[in-house]
């Protein structure tokens, strides 16, 4: 198995190399920046690329989002200190097949790399359970998963967005959900930030696209049989 390591800390790259190299695994490339990774990944075409989610102020998820469609035979696994649900969701939706934290043991890291290369989801069970719960919440609320951005929202935030998209004010949303107006405002602010939109109208548009008839095929790339 040919592996590439993308991390902006040389000590981390060295430790990962030491942990996974063996008779059947070789590290063929290392990169410290997104620019280096883009160049070297295309040159060496590794079987697995281990990517830090935060690369010195740049985004490892964006690297995966760009490379994954260009390298369909390569498996991407995130290696990060972050356990944020939004980071996990963004990584998986970008094309990562695994997500590991940097406190993983060398033995577990090697097992995860091998399992990801076999097509399995490489992440701790608790993390996988959180991911599945979020997917189920989104599918139940939206009736589909056409807009991956919506997976960044919690179940309560999806409820608020549903009412927002129907044109209700913060005060009306608060009354309907039996929460305070300030809490409703906090949820709306979080929704706009997570969806990276400027106003309620843009958030509502994303929600409506998520409920479109084609949404059932959006998250997994194919329509149900």
Q: Model confidence over 10-52: pLDDT tens digits?
A: 999 999 999 999 889 999 999 999 999 999 999 999 999 999 9
Render pLDDT for 156-203 as a digit per residue (tens, 0 to 9): 888 899 899 999 999 999 999 888 999 999 999 989 998 889 999 999
% of the chain with per-residue pLDDT over 90: 49
C-alpha to C-alpha distance for 222 and 225, rounded to whole angstroms: 9
Q: d(Cα 127, Cα 119) in Å, to the nearest integer?
A: 18
pLDDT at residue 214 above 60?
Answer: no
Given a contact cutoff of 8 angstroms between Cβ atoms, the answer to whether 124 and 164 are in contact is no
Q: What is the average pLDDT value for the chain, to the nearest integer?
A: 84
- Domains located in the chain, CATH noted: 2-122 (3.40.50.2300), 129-218 (1.10.10.10)
CA–CA separation, 35 vs 112, rounded Å? 26
| Cα–Cα distance, 173 to 187 (Å, whole number) | 10
Distances (CA, A) of 48 to 1, 20, 84, 181: 8, 12, 23, 48
Contact 215, 145 (CB under 8 A): yes
Query: pLDDT per residue over 48-64, tens digit each?
Result: 999 998 887 678 888 99
């Amino acid at each position: 198995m040919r592996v590439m390591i993308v991390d902006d800390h040389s000590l981390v790259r060295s430790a990962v190399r030491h942990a996974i190299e063996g008779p059947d695994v070789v590290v063929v490339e290392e990169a410290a920046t997104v620019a280096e990774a883009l160049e070297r990944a295309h040159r060496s075409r590794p079987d697995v690329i281990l990517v830090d989610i935060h690369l010195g102020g740049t985004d490892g998820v964006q690297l995966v989002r760009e490379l994954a469609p260009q390298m369909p035979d390569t498996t991407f696994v995130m290696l990060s200190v972050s356990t944020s649900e939004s980071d996990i969701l963004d990584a998986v939706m970008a094309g990562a097949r695994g997500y590991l934290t940097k406190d993983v043991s060398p033995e577990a890291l090697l097992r995860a790399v091998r399992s990801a290369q076999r097509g399995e989801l490489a992440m701790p069970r608790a993390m996988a359970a959180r991911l599945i719960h979020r997917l189920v919440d989104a599918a139940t609320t939206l009736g589909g998963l056409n807009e991956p951005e919506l997976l960044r929202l919690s179940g309560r935030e999806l409820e608020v967005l549903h009412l927002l998209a129907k044109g209700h004010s913060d005060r009306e949303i608060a009354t309907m959900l039996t929460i305070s107006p300030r809490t409703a405002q906090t949820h709306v602010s979080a929704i706009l930030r997570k969806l990276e939109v400027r106003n309620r109208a843009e958030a509502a548009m994303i929600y409506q696209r998520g409920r479109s008839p084609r949404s059932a095929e959006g998250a997994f790339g194919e329509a149900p049989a």
